[in-house]
């Protein structure tokens, strides 16, 4: 188990030009979130749902990791098993910053993968549209029921089990760029000795007095301080 758990959300990727959920602009505003992010939308609104994720996947090809991803990638690669990188994000910016994909726990899926609804195989499709990769078929069983590899609201998120296991066994929990609306992060503070919260501003879903340290700043401006706090704990 890792000594330090870093749990991130949309805010860590905001400075890389990926809209957070609530300050949505551009791409997000053209769609009603509930029609493309909720359990069942692949049955009731399949074409638009797949198109939405196809566009976001393509959009990722131009996005670059920011300083926060890079500093955390250096730490993760230096301390390996001592640090767990867990994210709600489906982008690949930690990977672009140099962390091997298998070392990042993506709680809500991963945009550059697709999943077969027939055999449950998960496979890499890069930045392609689903219908353009493997002719829209699963490379394993050739089924045409291929979906974005993302967890919709109301669907099971199997990796939450890893999140709980890591958090209940760590010493320092670092939360970066999440409003706490999807994952109730406050509940985790009682399991850890120390916790750091970094968001741009106060969130209605977070009671910040529960945290040992609170930093309301951009992630890229907070990350050096966070990084030295992490190294201090790892050297104890």
Active site residues: 108
# chain residues binding Zn ion, by CB under 5 A: 8
143 binds, among ligand NAD, Zn ion, none (CB under 5 to 8 A by kind): Zn ion
First to last CA, the chain: 16
d(CA 104, CA 111): 14
d(CA 99, CA 112): 15
Q: Quick check: 65 binds ligand NAD (CB under 6 A)? A: no
Residues in contact with ligand NAD, shown as a per-residue x/- string from 8 to 37 under the rule CB under 6 A? -xxx-xxx--x-xxx---------------
Q: How far is the CB of 127 from ligand NAD (least distance, A)?
A: 14
Interface with ligand NAD in residues 151-210 (CB under 6 A): 177-179, 181-182, 198-201, 203
Q: Quick check: 140 binds Zn ion (CB under 5 A)? A: yes
Scanning 23-143, the segments in alpha helix (DSSP H) are 33-37, 41-44, 46-60, 67-79, 93-96
Among 57, 70, 76, 218, binds ligand NAD (CB under 6 A): 218
106 binds, among ligand NAD, Zn ion, none (CB under 5 to 8 A by kind): none
Secondary structure element (H or E) that encloses residue 14, with its range = helix 10-14
d(CA 179, CA 132): 35
d(CA 117, CA 127): 20
Q: Quick check: 138 binds Zn ion (CB under 5 A)? A: yes
Best CA proximity match to 85, nearest among 63, 69, 96: 69
* Contact set with ligand NAD (CB under 6 A): 9-11, 13-15, 18, 20-22, 88-91, 108, 177-179, 181-182, 198-201, 203, 218-219
């Amino acid at each position: 188990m890792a000594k330090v758990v870093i749990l991130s959300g949309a805010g860590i990727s905001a400075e890389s030009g990926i809209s957070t959920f609530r300050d949505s602009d551009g791409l997000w505003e053209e769609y009603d979130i509930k029609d493309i992010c909720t359990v069942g939308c692949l049955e009731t609104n399949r074409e638009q749902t797949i198109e939405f994720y196809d566009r976001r996947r393509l959009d990722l090809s131009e996005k670059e990791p920011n300083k926060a991803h890079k500093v955390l990638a250096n730490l993760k690669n230096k301390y390996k098993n001592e640090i767990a990188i867990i994210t709600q994000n489906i982008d690949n910016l930690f990977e672009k910053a140099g962390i091997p994909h298998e070392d990042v726990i993506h709680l809500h899926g991963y945009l550059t993968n697709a999943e077969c609804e027939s055999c449950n195989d998960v496979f890499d499709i890069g930045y392609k549209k689903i219908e353009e990769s493997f002719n829209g078929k699963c490379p394993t069983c050739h089924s045409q029921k291929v979906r974005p590899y993302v967890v919709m609201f109301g669907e099971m998120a199997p990796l939450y089990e890893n999140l709980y296991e890591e958090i209940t066994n760590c010493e320092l929990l670092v939360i970066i760029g999440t409003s706490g609306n999807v994952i109730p992060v406050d509940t985790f503070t009682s399991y850890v000795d120390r916790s750091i919260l970094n968001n741009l501003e106060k969130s209605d879903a977070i009671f910040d007095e529960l945290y040992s340290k609170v930093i309301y700043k951009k992630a890229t401006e907070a990350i050096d301080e966070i990084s030295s706090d992490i190294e201090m704990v790892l050297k104890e």
